[in-house]
Amino acid sequence: MPAASYLVGACWVCFRRGLSGPGAAGDPLWAAAVVVDAGRIVGQRVVGGYASGPYVPGMLALRLGPQFEDVVRRLTPWPEVLLLDATGDDHPRRAGLALHLGAALDLPTVGVTHRPLLATGVWPADEAGATSPLTIGTDQVATWLRTRPGTRPLVVHPAWRTDLEVSVRVVEASLAGRRTPEPLRSARQAARRARAGQ
């Protein structure tokens, strides 16, 4: 039997260039979602829309939740896991957007961010694959992951139906030699391309 396809999805939202500060409801945006199979894009959707509210730390879902849900629902084929720039348990109410979106879509999710929201932890060694825990109190809620030497580590957040171990494994498997997982890069590129067309 052939090896099973491993379909990894990702979604991204970008705003008009030059927008600064927290923004507001009604900000024009472009949302993109992709599905990648062994490094190849096998599904892609892009949609224009408007922000539901301003950006407030801890309430990202109120700004972008409906837009992410809308674009991902249009995706075919359906991925096995979805990556997005958001947190899971690293949140004031242990309910970051990655958790919300996975629950709403009944789809396993993994958050990937540049920095933690509340959690703290020392950076891992400067070697590919090095990790260190990010904790809130005594609970590990996310993992620092050095995806490439000499670059800032990423924060990997377990979210809907994923755990600390699986989330790191999914991210490492989708790096394709870059610092950022390839599906997320593709989704960002698709959103920006749509923006450029307007």
Partner DNA sequence: GCGACAG
Partner DNA sequence: ATCTTGTCGC
Query: Where along the sequence are the contacts to DNA (CB under 7 A)?
Result: 13-15, 17-23, 55, 57-61, 85-87, 91, 96-98, 111, 113-117, 188, 191-192, 195
Take residue 120 and report the two structure tokens written for it: 């703290």
Cross-strand pairs, 91: none
Q: How far is the CB of 31 from DNA (least distance, A)?
A: 11
Q: How far is the CB of 78 from DNA (least distance, A)?
A: 23
Residue (57 or 77) nearer to DNA, CB: 57
Residue (4 or 94) nearer to DNA, CB: 94
Residue (175 or 191) nearer to DNA, CB: 191
Alpha-carbon distance 158 to 162, whole Å?
Answer: 5
Alpha-carbon distance 8 to 42, whole Å?
Answer: 10
CA of 130: how far to CAs of 21, 106, 124, 144, 151, in Å? 34, 31, 6, 8, 12
Q: How far is the CB of 68 from DNA (least distance, A)?
A: 10
Alpha-carbon distance 123 to 101, whole Å?
Answer: 28
Residue (74 or 114) nearer to DNA, CB: 114
Q: How far is the CB of 38 from DNA (least distance, A)?
A: 25
